Structure 1
Amino acid sequence: MFGRGRVPAKTTDQVLLMRRAGLVVGETLAELADAVRAGLTTADLDAVAEKAIRGRGATPSFLGYHGFPATICVSVNEEIVHGIPGARVLQDGDLVSIDCGAIVEGWHGDAAMTVVVGGDEAARPEDLDLSAATEASMWDGIRALVPGERLFDVGAAVEDSIAESARRLGRPLSIVDGYTGHGIGTEMHQDPNVHNERVREKGPIVTVGTTVAIEPMVTLGTYESHELDDEWTVVTEDGSRASHWENTVAVTEGGLWVLTALDGGRAQLGDRYAPLD
């Protein structure tokens, strides 16, 4: 139904409410980035996140969502997305993707980041390359949001970014098949899907007031994945490591506002950065 239509638009007041939810998510992810260290369990990180979200007067988006049992998703090494926090103990050098969502007055923010336990000095070079390439592709996808243009240009921009990074780095990088970003607003996941790769369809037209979550998931090996017996955790088919980066973005009259970035996207977007007053 969105093939030739327009992406549903939010009002200025609605986008401002989403910014409040987005800031909760961004601040929570910043706390988690500081908290990650060897010896903690993934459940420890979940406790940090729940305290951070509720302490800001918000509600976790993920907890109870289709039965999901935790506040955040924590996916380690070959885990791509939807990892359930639990007893797993983090070790230096682990590549950890953390996905976080929060609700403020019925409006959602959703973002993800990838960090290395122990910092860059503990990381494998290929893992740093993977995370940097995935994050860069997310920003390239965000920049492809232009009023009057097609939403699925985002996927083409992500794919081209990853291909260029793979060539420059001399490393295999694959976009995970079957997973997309999404519309977001009064529900965490709304139509339309936002592809992470080039597709035949052009998709709906981006409008002022469009709000979407852009979230590439990229691996050092195959694009294939499977779900574990817990019916949530998605892992790479070949055991290669994965990275996941995400932000919630609003299209404004003047450009773009990254609702889950603490600086609103100013550092990355330059003259495309256009917050609402």
Structure 2
Amino acid sequence: MIIIKTDEQVELMRASALLVSQTLSEVAKILRPGITTLHLDEFIAQYIRSFNAVPSFLNYHGYPFNSCISVNDVVVHGFPNKRELVDGDIVSIDVGVILNGWHGDHAYTFAIGEIPEDVQQLIRITKESLYKGIEKAVDGNRIGDIAYAIQEHTEKKHGYGVVRELVGHGLGQSMHEDPQVPNYGKRGTGVKLKEGMVLAIEPMINMGKKDVFTEKDGWTVRTKDGSPSVHFEHDVCVRKGKADILSNYAPIEEAERNNPNLFVC
């Protein structure tokens, strides 16, 4: 069932989304070689709770951490651990919160130190594809229009692998609501978009082939060919004429630019 949000509910969701954005911007300030993803996860939990909010990933279907931190060939759902980040790593950090009963959920991929030019391009193109998809999240369009826009920019133009097994989703008082929002598909197909729908749009794009596998922990998803994977995600409200992005990358990007340990793609 698709739940249409009122304007008042959308504003509550915006507050949740912006707390995620703020959390990710604080993480961007401390990212560096030598830091562990487990330390980042603990930092994220403390920061979210300081706003009387809850890290929504913790214990979700048994997930044992506060955030998903996916390094290099890990697509999504990476377990934070004691491995120290090193120069050349790319790190997708996916954070969710519950604030005043409403969910915020989005992700950003960072580059630690110097990374190869082809990986830089993968990050740029994936981020661009997110906004290509968001442009189609307007009243009267269909889910397939979002999906096609992302696939066209990443797979058809640049030959990257678009993950099929994992998709974006509706968002609200539950972390995952209808409809599903795939990153591949045909224009003019799928659920019709209506004003007040809130979607988490999240391209997951591999440098190599689209194929992935899940590790024995039941969560960590990796590329089958070991190629790098990039993940970006925004929370978006469908509106007439132009989508309303509830989350905000601006503070994250500012922190990224000001951190000499990060490479801005």
Moved over 4 A (4+): none
Over the matched positions of the two proteins, sequence identity in percent amounts to: 40
Q: How many pairs were matched up?
A: 251
Q: Indicate whether 1:139 and 2:134 are aligned.
A: no
Give the TM-score taking structure 1 as reference length: 0.86
RMSD: 1.7
Question: What is the aligned partner in structure 1 of residue 182 from structure 2?
Answer: 195
Of 160, 181, 185, which residue of structure 1 is paired with 2:172?
185
Give runs of aligned pairs for residues 212-231 of structure 1, distance below 5 A.
Answer: 212-231=199-218
Is this contact kept in 2: 1:23–1:262, CA < 8 A? no
3-state SS of 1:86 partner: coil
Shift in Å at residue 263 of structure 1? 5.7
Of 46, 54, 71, which residue of structure 2 is paired with 1:76?
71
**Ranges in structure 1 where 5+ consecutive residues have no aligned partner:** 167-171, 265-277
Q: Indicate whether 1:46 and 2:41 are aligned.
A: yes
Question: What is the aligned partner in structure 2 of residue 16 from structure 1?
Answer: 11
Alignment partners' CA distance in 2, 1:140 and 1:149: 14
Question: What is the aligned partner in structure 2 of residue 275 from structure 1?
Answer: none
Shift in Å at residue 173 of structure 1? 1.2
Q: Deviations over 1:136-182 (max 9, x none)?
A: 1111001011201212210001011114651xxxxx41111211100
Give the TM-score taking structure 2 as reference length: 0.90
Q: Deviations over 1:174-228 (max 9, x none)?
A: 1112111000000011111001001488111111101000001001111000001
**Higher RCO by CA contacts (8 Å cutoff, separation 6 or greater):** 2
**Ranges in structure 2 where 5+ consecutive residues have no aligned partner:** 252-265
The change in CA–CA distance for 1:34 and 1:263 in structure 2 (over 3 A counts) is: closer
Give runs of aligned pairs for residues 47-66 of structure 1, distance below 5 A.
Answer: 47-66=42-61
Give runs of aligned pairs for residues 59-208 of structure 1, distance below 5 A.
Answer: 59-118=54-113, 122-163=114-155, 165-166=157-158, 172-199=159-186, 202-208=189-195
Shift in Å at residue 256 of structure 1? 2.0
Alignment partners' CA distance in 2, 1:199 and 1:55: 43
3-state SS of 2:143 partner: coil
Alignment partners' CA distance in 1, 2:130 and 2:221: 20
Deviates more, 1:252-261 or 1:29-38: 252-261
3-state SS of 1:52 partner: helix
Q: Indicate whether 1:255 and 2:242 are aligned.
A: yes
Question: What is the aligned partner in structure 1 of residue 256 from structure 2?
Answer: none
Is this contact kept in 2: 1:133–1:165, CA < 8 A? no
Residue 153 of structure 1 aligns to which amino acid in structure 2?
Answer: D
